[in-house]
């Protein structure tokens, strides 16, 4: 009976030790995350970015990682589509602005050329009248 009690105390002590270790690890991880979030947000962002990049690189190697990274893949695909649409809109707006500006410049150049021609013809007529 003494041996069973000693073995039971050993098992109970190991369970308590395991529980204490788990509490210590979770508490330390919480304090570390709190410190990163409040005192070092850039480092936290860098670590999150590295973790997400790792997930995207290793997503085809394990089904669990594929499941975890699937929302990230969806977000990356949405951002990719949004980026393509935004660049397409900007390029289209640039082409329209250049076309409108080119039209305005050519209209102004035409008006200036017509005014110049009208002025030169008037001066040529005046020169002809003065020469007679």
pLDDT digits (tens, 9 = 90+) for 77-90: 999 999 999 999 99
- pLDDT score at 61: 86
Residue 33 is assigned to a structural domain of this protein: no
* Number of structural domains found in the chain: 1
Residue 105 is assigned to a structural domain of this protein: yes
Report whether pLDDT(120) > 90.
Answer: yes
Residue 28 is assigned to a structural domain of this protein: no
Report whether pLDDT(19) > 90.
Answer: yes
Residue 18 is assigned to a structural domain of this protein: no
Higher pLDDT, 12 or 53: 12
Domain region containing 81: 63-131
Residue 109 is assigned to a structural domain of this protein: yes
Contacts of 66 (CB under 8 A, 6+ apart): 59, 60
Residue 56 is assigned to a structural domain of this protein: no
| Tens digit of each residue's pLDDT (9 = 90 or more) over 66-79 | 888 888 888 889 99
Residue 12 is assigned to a structural domain of this protein: no
Exposed/middle/buried for 69, CB within 10 Å: 0-12, 13-18, 19+? buried
Calculate ∠ Cα 13-19-25, nearest 5°.
135
Residue 11 is assigned to a structural domain of this protein: no
Share of the chain above pLDDT 90, in %: 70
What single string gives the DSSP state of each residue in 57-100?
HTTTT-HHHHHHHHHHHHHHHHHHHHHHHHHHHHHHHHHHHHHH
């Amino acid at each position: 009976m003494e041996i069973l009690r000693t073995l039971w105390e050993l098992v109970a002590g190991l369970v308590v030790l395991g529980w204490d270790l788990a509490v210590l690890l979770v508490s330390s991880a919480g304090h570390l995350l709190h410190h990163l979030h409040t005192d070092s947000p850039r480092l936290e962002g860098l670590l999150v970015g590295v973790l997400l990049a790792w997930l995207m690189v290793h997503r085809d190697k394990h089904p669990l990682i594929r499941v975890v990274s699937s929302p990230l893949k969806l977000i990356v695909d949405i951002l990719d589509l949004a980026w393509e649409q935004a660049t397409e809109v900007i390029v289209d707006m640039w082409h329209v602005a250049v076309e409108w500006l080119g039209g305005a410049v050519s209209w102004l150049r035409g008006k200036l050329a017509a005014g110049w021609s009208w002025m030169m013809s008037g001066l040529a007529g005046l020169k002809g009248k003065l020469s007679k």
